[in-house]
Amino acid sequence: MQVLTLVPVLALLLALAFIKLLKPKTARPNLPPGSFGWPVIGESLEFLRCQRGGHPEKFVRDRMSRYNSPIFKTSLLGERMAVLCGPAGNKFLFSNEGKKVALWWPSSVGKLMGRCLVSKAGDEARLDKKMLMSFFNPEALMRSVGVIDEFTKDHLRTQWEGKDRLEAYSTLKQHTFSLACRLFMSITDPQIVSRLADHFHVFLRGVVGLPLDVPGTSFYQSKKAANSIRKELRVLVKWRRTELERKTASPSQDIMSHLIANGDENGKLMPEAEIINNMLNLLFAGHDTSTSTLVLIIKYLSELPHVLEKVIAEQREIAASKARGELLQWGDLQKMRYSWNAILEVMRMTAPIYGSFREALVDFTYEGYTIPKGWKLHWSACSTHTDRNYHPRTLTFDESRFEGSGPAPYTYVPFGGGPRMCLGLEFARAELLVFFHNLVIGFHWSLVNPDEKIIYDPMPIPVKGLPIRLRPRD
């Protein structure tokens, strides 16, 4: 009896096996070499450890060597990811924006930033960027150079003069954030600026990382700070809207007014929540990388007196051409060629961002390997900038790399590239050069801790705040 009952079961199993043999086999994708690491956390801990150790390029460089490949797979921040290395990888990702790939940020960024330019794609992102570009193009910045110069002179007069020592990082962070509030929102009230700055200090700690919304975690604290920032910005937006209605403010006076008063190509106004999110994003992007770069300029130039002397000579020549009390103008920045080359080399030696992320919109093939749709992609500025194949004597500071046509395309990418290139590039250039001019004209400085370590968190920062000794320059 038992044998009889087994016959139908065996027959069914044989039939299923036969069907499986006849079914065409689906080819497994030829994935890049690499490892997904530990369950859930993948290789995130080592990725973050390299950043905190001050060598984010090490994560990429070690795997390029291990797998002998310009592309490898990994798992970071809870996502399966392919890392495309070097200029070829940069070119592929930048030139395929909106075709094969789209901008992607870790879920922590999306949850904290909300719906804004960095979280949009396609036509929506293009329209937002077009609205913002009216304040970041050279024509608009020509009108802002004098404001930046006056603001910088006031900062140095009140925060630097008369001091024989200060902590450069925190002091510069205050300056760049206050300047962003002034230029982006016309906010000069020190109490408002201070409250926003305090919230941003907490907010930045959890922007890039694991989105663990649990009390005590960086993300939890960052989320609370973001809510506080939005509360402050909501009051400012309502206040500005009233000013615009009463015509006591101009739609063209700053970015916030422009976003409130102007619609897109179809005349549709931006929702208030998106205005607030975009302002949060701009305040974040508009001061943090600038702070890091200014600190690194101070650090590197203190160690390179031969470079600093050439910078001083160039800046003194420009200062001598100005009447007493006359502010810098756009044309003066164009004369700061050597100074700008020195800044570019600072950003090559220590990139202001370690890289960025994309998402595969379709299955595609790269270097003979299949990248499945939905996979995340990463490009690394740090590893490209320190690759001796593209930058000989990579550990040597050499500002002459940027003379003439400069580095080969896609080998130098501190501001990204393609349609997603940083829209604040020209603003950053003006801000950095104006500060650099006033700093070297007015002060001598030296490092208190010459061997102070720089880590990425997520931007490059000095672990002790870069304390410096000061004295006025004759």
Question: What integer pLDDT is reported at residue 403 of this predicted model?
Answer: 93
Question: What integer pLDDT is reported at residue 13 of this predicted model?
Answer: 37
For the ranges 6-10, 18-22, 267-271, the maximum mean pLDDT occurs at 267-271
Taking the C-alpha atoms of residue 382 and residue 32, their distance in angstroms, rounded to an integer, is: 21
Poorest-pLDDT segment among 11-15, 132-136, 275-279, 456-460: 11-15
Q: Rounded mean pLDDT of 444-453?
A: 94
Among the listed residues 290, 423, 402, 392, the one whose alpha carbon sits nearest the alpha carbon of residue 339:
402
Q: Rounded mean pLDDT of 412-420?
A: 85
Tokens representing 171 are 């002091």
**Tens digit of pLDDT for each residue in 125-171?**
566 666 677 777 777 788 899 999 999 999 999 999 999 999 999 99
451 Rama class: left (phi>0) / alpha (psi -120 to 50) / beta? alpha
Cβ–Cβ < 8 Å for 299, 462: yes
Question: What integer pLDDT is reported at residue 8 of this predicted model?
Answer: 41
Cβ–Cβ < 8 Å for 43, 74: yes
Question: What integer pLDDT is reported at residue 135 of this predicted model?
Answer: 75
Amino acid of residue 84 = L
Residue 188 DSSP code: -
The domain locations on the chain are 44-472
More confident residue, 81 or 208: 81
Strand residue runs (E) in 77-214: 79-84, 101-103, 165-167
Question: What integer pLDDT is reported at residue 123 of this predicted model?
Answer: 57
- Is the confidence at residue 230, as pLDDT, over 90? yes
For helices 57-67 and 44-52, the axis angle rounded to 10 degrees is 130
**Tens digit of pLDDT for each residue in 101-126?**
998 887 777 787 777 665 555 555 56
What are the DSSP calls for 304-328, one per residue?
Answer: -HHHHHHHHHHHHHHHHTSPTTPPP
- Is the confidence at residue 392, as pLDDT, over 80? yes
- Cβ contacts of 288 within 8 Å, gap of 6 or more: 173, 176, 204, 459
Cβ–Cβ < 8 Å for 282, 255: yes
Taking the chain, what is the end-to-end CA distance rounded to the nearest angstrom? 109
Question: What integer pLDDT is reported at residue 7 of this predicted model?
Answer: 42
CA 343, distance to chain mean position in Å, is 17
What is the β-pairing status of strands 355-360 and 101-103?
A: antiparallel
- Is the confidence at residue 426, as pLDDT, over 90? no
As a whole-number percent, the residues of the chain with pLDDT over 70 amount to 89
Whose structure tokens read 């940027």?
402
Alpha-carbon distance values, 54 to 48, 150, 267, 443, 455 (Å): 10, 35, 47, 29, 4
Looking at 1.10.357.10, 1.10.1040.10, 1.10.630.10, 3.40.50.10490, the CATH number of the domain 44-472 comes to: 1.10.630.10
Task: Give the up-direction half-sphere exposure of residue 169: CA atoms within 13 A in the CB hemisphere.
Answer: 19
Task: Give the up-direction half-sphere exposure of residue 122: CA atoms within 13 A in the CB hemisphere.
Answer: 3
Q: What are phi and psi of 167, to 5 degrees?
A: -90, 110
